[in-house]
Amino acid sequence: MSTRSQKWVLAKTMKGSATLTHFRLEEEDLSTDLQDGEVLCEAIYISVDPYMRPYAERSLTVGSMMMAEQIARVLQSKNPRFPVDSLVLANVGWRTLTRVSDMKSLRQLPIMGDVPVSNALGMLGLTGLTAYYGMTHICKPRAGDVVVVTSAGGAVGSVAAQIAKATGCKVIGICGSDEKCHWITHDLGLDAAINYKTDDVTAKLQETAPNGVNCFFDNVGGDSAGAVICHMAVGGRAALCGAISLYSDDIHRPSQGLSIYRAIVAKQLTVQGFNVLNWFSSWHEAYRALYDLVLEGKLRGKELIYEGFDKVPEAFLKLFQGGNLGKIIVKIRD
């Protein structure tokens, strides 16, 4: 017995700006004759995230499936850990059906309570965990610190900013629209917002953080990040989570210079890039901390949900076009 699965693969080498032409929809037959320990899952929600762009360029060849985490329902099971109809977090990519043999790619969906299940891909999923570890383990904010977060209206940035706010910090968010600036200040409670498209970032930092920035959580790179680095206080800490503004550049010929090195040395800054997978063994602790913030009303999220498997590439490209608030997710089925 077999069934048909759809998947999105890389249609051509990922160079420059990503477009719909970089992706191709394919179908394949999956055997439903499971072996002991295996499960067959169907996608319910699929996550799209900025890291997929450099990952595709660095690690995928033409014809390779795009990778992603999804919330899936178990259709068939020969594994007692994952019974039929249970929901799982599956790191299986942009596909509708998956026969899973490697159980390292599956995790039990955490207890969500009254929180929508889709948030297990957002503020209570890898997105939230990334924000949590970058902020608490690298930035290490203390009450009274001044914290700046770039892409503060995005999925990771909005969570990181709220964690800092819950710690008792003054938090300044940098965004790309007035709508995002309004959301992070009026809805999320940040102290100030800077629109990097219309404001002079350096001047705004001098106005809102006259004594310098103690902690910097960066998702963007580029000129905005450089402005923050140069305005940091002595002994400041910076967590470099992403560089979405540079993902279309040639990695061997970056457009940004090395001018921030002078500030890093002069101000004795700690600047660290990181990957959330480094803390895999303690994810349950971070989830509990994030869930507690939700229950306390200190962590809120927003989702932009696309409908249909055919919309996955379009949803992915939206990440690089701006305009979205919070986390982008694709709903495949109820």
The contacts of residue 54 (CB under 8 Å, 6+ apart) are 247, 251
Q: What is the amino acid identity at position 103?
A: M
pLDDT for residue 324 is more than 60: yes
Q: Which residue has the tokens 């090395």?
A: 258
Confidence bin at 69 (pLDDT 50/70/90): very high
Query: What is 2-122+302-331's CATH superfamily?
Result: Medium-chain alcohol dehydrogenases, catalytic domain (3.90.180.10)
- pLDDT, one tens digit per residue, over 113-164 is 899 999 999 999 999 999 999 999 999 999 999 999 999 999 999 999 999 9
pLDDT recorded at residue 244: 77
pLDDT for residue 211 is more than 60: yes
**Under a CB-based contact definition with an 8 Å cutoff, are residues 44 and 333 in contact?**
yes
What's the pTM? 0.92
Query: What is 128-277's CATH superfamily?
Result: NAD(P)-binding Rossmann-like Domain (3.40.50.720)
Could you give the C-alpha distances from 263 to 155, 172, 237, 271, 278, in angstroms and in order? 29, 20, 12, 11, 28
State the DSSP string of 232-256.
EEEEEEEEE---GGGTTS-TTS-SS
Please work out, in degrees rounded to the nearest 5, the angle formed at the alpha carbon of residue 93 by the alpha carbons of 88 and 97: 65
Average pLDDT over residues 2-19: 93
Average pLDDT over residues 66-90: 97
Query: What residue ranges do the domains of the chain occupy?
Result: 2-122+302-331, 128-277
What's the mean per-residue pLDDT of the chain? 93
pLDDT for residue 318 is more than 70: yes
**Under a CB-based contact definition with an 8 Å cutoff, are residues 148 and 217 in contact?**
yes
Q: What is the CA 281 to chain-centroid distance, rounded?
A: 19
User: Among 216, 223, 258, which residue's Cα sits nearest to residue 237?
Assistant: 216
Range of weakest confidence among 45-54, 107-116, 256-265, 273-282: 256-265
pLDDT recorded at residue 222: 85
Average pLDDT over residues 251-266: 67
Confidence bin at 263 (pLDDT 50/70/90): confident
pLDDT recorded at residue 249: 59
pLDDT for residue 251 is more than 70: no
Q: Which residue has the tokens 């360029």?
A: 57
d(CA 37, CA 83): 11
Average pLDDT over residues 236-249: 82
pLDDT recorded at residue 158: 97
- pLDDT, one tens digit per residue, over 278-308 is 998 899 999 999 999 999 999 999 999 999 9
pLDDT recorded at residue 250: 57
pLDDT recorded at residue 253: 56
